[in-house]
Structure 1
Amino acid sequence: MHPILHPATNRPPTLPFQASTMASPRHLLKLSGALLLLCVGVCVARNSDFSIVGYSEEDLSSNDRLVELFEKWLAKHQKAYASFEEKLHKFEVFKDNLKHIDKINREVTSYWLGLNEFADLTNDEFKAAYLGLNAAPARRGSSRSFRYEDVSASDLPKSVDWRKKGAVTEVKNQGQCGSCWAFSTVAAVEGINAIVTGNLTALSEQELIDCSVDGNSGCNGGLMDYAFSYIASSGGLHTEEAYPYLMEEGSCGDAKKAESEAVTISGFEDVPANDEQALIKALAHQPVSVAIEASGRHFQFYSGGVFDGPCGAQLDHGVAAVGYGSDKGKGHDYIIVRNSWGAEWGEKGYIRMKRGTSNGEGLCGINKMASYPTKDK
């Protein structure tokens, strides 16, 4: 356990935050030039391995410690800026985000925030770079059927975690490409393929970005149902190894696709909208593509715990639900969600989102637009 976490709760420290302790750009300029220029160009490696929480009480004790914290954060995330002026601007953003993170960590008990790789981005910059769901008014399920409709609630297991059942690949990172819809789709297809065949195979998000163009817009957003439709009608989806991720749009690579066998699906179905019980029924049988609102600062800096923070239901991000369970100690029921922002975000790339809310749309709209692929044996 990292020393800045409280042993009893595994939570970040609660810190008294004073804006006056933050170094201004004017003061920053007066500090050692060597210190300031460490990460203008090539970042200097540090021995300190910061946790995703990213700060301690001592880090806010002086201007020098705050600057040092910023430099360590830059080194950890290999950040480099084009100019000294840009670095000063990013330091101001970093300070504002740290103030927000510390404030929430003192006020909230069910989850906590951390200085992750997004700590030098304003919320507007974050939203522009890392979301990408195009929520269409019409849905395109292969039929109106919901195959899990007749499953009795009493027959559902108390908890399910498809990671432990070998149906979830390692967490991936979409980078600054609005391709969340492709990652959500692929996670669900990888899951049902593993369940049916016993083979867990990493599949290609890049193929969807390049080739699934009916209703989708590559790095400018898309929708999981359209991607499922492409996979079902085009002969399947190829492996990530044969068709690797580029973090940008490319041309549809027929030559790449010919180099490997495709994983097929039979079709896909939509989970009845705004019905959490239906989502849990589906999730008990396979990973499910879901859409959420992920644009808030709480979500941007989520680091751990059962998230019940402020968010609306304006869907802007595609993710994959890969299980559900309960935090017995605090009585929180949750859905396990795999994100596509890398393993350093959240709980090693995952977030536990509270379920059982009074709102039919679910927390952050998670019940509004869920769907899953089908695969015949």
Structure 2
Amino acid sequence: MAARATTLAQGFSQKLMLEMYDKDLSGIITNTDYEGEINGVGSKLNILNFDRVSEKTYADSAMSADSLTENNAQLVIDQYKAFYWKEKTLANWLSYVKNPHPTIVSQVANERNKNKDTYLFGLYGDIGAGNRVGTDHADGTVSIAATTGVVTGSGTNFTAAMVGKGFQADGHTTWYRVKTYTSPTQITIEDDKDDVTSAYTGGVIVGSSTYTIEAATVVNITVSNLLQYVGQLKKKLDLAEGNGYNSVPDTDRFLIVPPEFEYNLVRASGVALHVPDVYSELVKKGFITELLGFKVFRSNRLSGDNTDGYHIIAGHPNWMTYAEKVLEARIEEDLIGDFGAAYKDLFVYGAKVTDPRRHFATELFATFA
């Protein structure tokens, strides 16, 4: 009896995962480079990388050596999910549905898929500063303290909603991000890094300097400007290496959009929706078309809405590393004091965007006409 229960539990687990993988987008927007390692060690894995070593021009004289700088990021499995349900013998006999199991398996698979997608799409805040598209904010002028990153403004109209957005002032050579909000005329900024202790290294910015806070509010997408904004997302990725970040490959780029985007897309001039035969299997995942090098997928699970704005994500799978594991799946064949069976499983997962990969994705903060 015990051996049979083990075999049935294994079959149940594989069926559940097969249903889920047939529909979810985790394999489109993430990589699983470290999944095997983290499954072997537990809930946390340290991922190391080194800062770039620059090639020098040799002038037939002694050179100064670069120091190797090691960075440590952690992929943490912190999402713990489970299903547990009973299928009772008498209830099955009385019901029109004599074998509810396949239907329930499909339902829980879709529910798990929804929760996974919602979690992954919710990491839009880990997109690199300077890689957001929306309506920028540039009211007034600012000065910035040398090491604290305190920004003192005049007529700036800062808001708490700007926390996490990219910030760049006249005199900066890279983008920083808003760390905290204090008042309409004071915020604090920091380096756009999560894997090291928070710091600001952008130096003093003197008073009356202009600045930009990216995508502070939404941009409204219409039939006439849709391609323009998709082009801006593409440009952000294309210019990553030129801006001092890692180069983003041209292949396997994705764009996840809400249904309202598709409605505008089909009415936009100069756009012909086409699904090549090679991508026919992707249709069940919400694949719409290819557009400016992006594979475009429709999803109802993006963060936001058409009132406050969708956080639309475009990028490359190298942006986010993801790992998951079914820790246990079991069938209780003998319900104590009752007749029937119970099914349960424990599923864990987590994701990480390391600092060197933050600019492998872009965000469009938008509503749709």
Q: Which has the bigger relative contact order, CA under 8 A and spacing at least 6?
A: 2
Larger radius of gyration: 2
Same fold per superposition (TM over 0.5): no
Structure 1 or 2: larger strand share? 2
